[in-house]
Amino acid sequence: MRTDGGLFAGIFGRGGVRTGDEAWLQAMLDTEAALARALERADLAEPGAGAAVTAAARAGAFDAAELGRQAALTGNPVPPLVRALTAAVPPWAAGAVHHGATSQDILDTAAMLVARDAVEVVLADLAAAAAAAAGLAAAHRDTIMIGRTLLQQAVPVTFGLVAAGWLTAIDEARQGLARVRGERLAVQFGGAAGTLAALGDAGPRVAVLLAGELGLATPLLPWHTDRLRILELAAGLAAAAAALGKIARDVTLLAQSEVAEVHEGGTGRGGSSAMPHKRNPVAAVAILSCTRRVPGLLATLAAAAEQEHQRAAGAWHSEWEPLADLLRLTGSASSWGAELLAGLVVDARRMRANLDQAGGFPLAERVAGLLAPHLGPAAAHDLVAAASAGAAARGASLGDALKSGHAAAALTAAGISPDQVDAALDPAGYLGSAAAFTDAALAAHRLLAARLDS
């Protein structure tokens, strides 16, 4: 497994998620220790054996690199770990180490523990990001800006609605991950082929005790080759990454020099090695650098879900590093996202200036709607389209074009005054349900926050 440090850790390993060798090793040891305690509680191990194994199960006492080298002989690191742990406990307690388990039991349960800790961190960062997005939505509920579709100017929107969209996506991702954390992270304990035959009739009871020791769910039966839990975890992480990637992409576009409607806060960040004048959106770029890698990892885990018979030949092994990377990258993106949104600076005046510079063209739809009852929808559309094309060719505004020539005559004949045209070209009057949608997103966020925090 990868370590948590390194040259690129500041970008890809930001935040509190830990998926390196020490985290995995301790999770495996925690599983072995919990199994020893469960066996003792089931009267299948000597009294005190659970405590003895637990005392020895400290990651710092084992050489992860050496375990990794020995894993080449067995196909996974559990057998050498079991030998080392057995040697580290008193002889009378050795029988409690790994009794009834198989390597996949230990590694799958360890994956659940690593994932649980990581998801807790991601959820906390997503909560912070959501709170910041909610603050932006509330503060800019009525801040008008140009909407953009297919990267072209469209009708007016509000920045509050933009932020509300970010908020809703984050909150939906939070709900998905919270469900996975609460329902789908389960202990794995099935023995060699999922029957727990080595424990006789006591197998199911030990499985329940083991789950209780670790605070994980008890599955209906072992899931060695049923990888839906892994896939649901991966999908939940990918959803969070997608929500964060959308926000980061919007910020990079809105922060372009020619647009300049937002910029990242903070000092000492965003400089260029070659261009001193630049203020790069570092947090947004870092988020995108993490989230761009997520779909491939999700695809790998989805492909690995097809596994043979009772134990897979290779597919299970292929999950370990992609899952660790997915947890790490989503954790980094969520940490960056919380900081990005908390410090995002919104330039409402620049938003209005950019909208005004559009020359009224984004309101063409509204003017056509004003004319439609008098001219018919098709004729109204064609008249406004012709006026827009003529104005664009002359460098004039849509309002000027509508108040002169053929368009003015048509408007006069329809009984529409210049004042009515001016009113139709006021973006504040063509925001539809933007405020209502923003309010609804904020209300839903408050309810979710109360539920998840309770």
Each residue's pLDDT tens digit, 365-406: 899 998 899 889 999 999 999 999 999 898 999 999 998 888
CB atoms within 10 A of CB 3: 14
Q: What is the pTM of this model?
A: 0.93
For 348-353, what is the mean pLDDT? 97
The predicted structure's pLDDT at residue 404:
86
Q: What is the dihedral of CA 202, 208, 212, 216, to 10 degrees?
A: 140
Residue pLDDT, tens place only, 262-280: 999 875 555 544 444 457 8
Q: How far is it, in rounded angstroms, from Cα 133 to Cα 244? A: 11
The DSSP secondary-structure symbol of 278 reads: -
Arithmetic mean of pLDDT over the chain:
94
Active site (annotated) includes residue 179: no
- Residue 149 φ then ψ, to 5°: -125, 140
Supply 73's token pair. Answer: 């002989």
Q: How far is it, in rounded angstroms, from Cα 402 to Cα 399? A: 5
Residue 341 · residue 136 · CB < 8 Å: yes
Residue 354 · residue 145 · CB < 8 Å: yes
Q: Which of 2, 205, 311, 350 is catalytic?
A: 311
The predicted structure's pLDDT at residue 267:
57
For 219-227, what is the mean pLDDT? 98
**Domain edges within the chain:** 9-350, 361-424
Supply 222's token pair. Answer: 């072992």
Q: Which of 58, 69, 179, 272 is catalytic?
A: 272
Active site (annotated) includes residue 311: yes
Residue pLDDT, tens place only, 140-188: 999 999 999 999 999 999 999 999 999 999 999 999 999 999 999 999 9
Domain 9-350 sits in CATH at: 1.20.200.10
- Residue type at 266 in one-letter notation: G
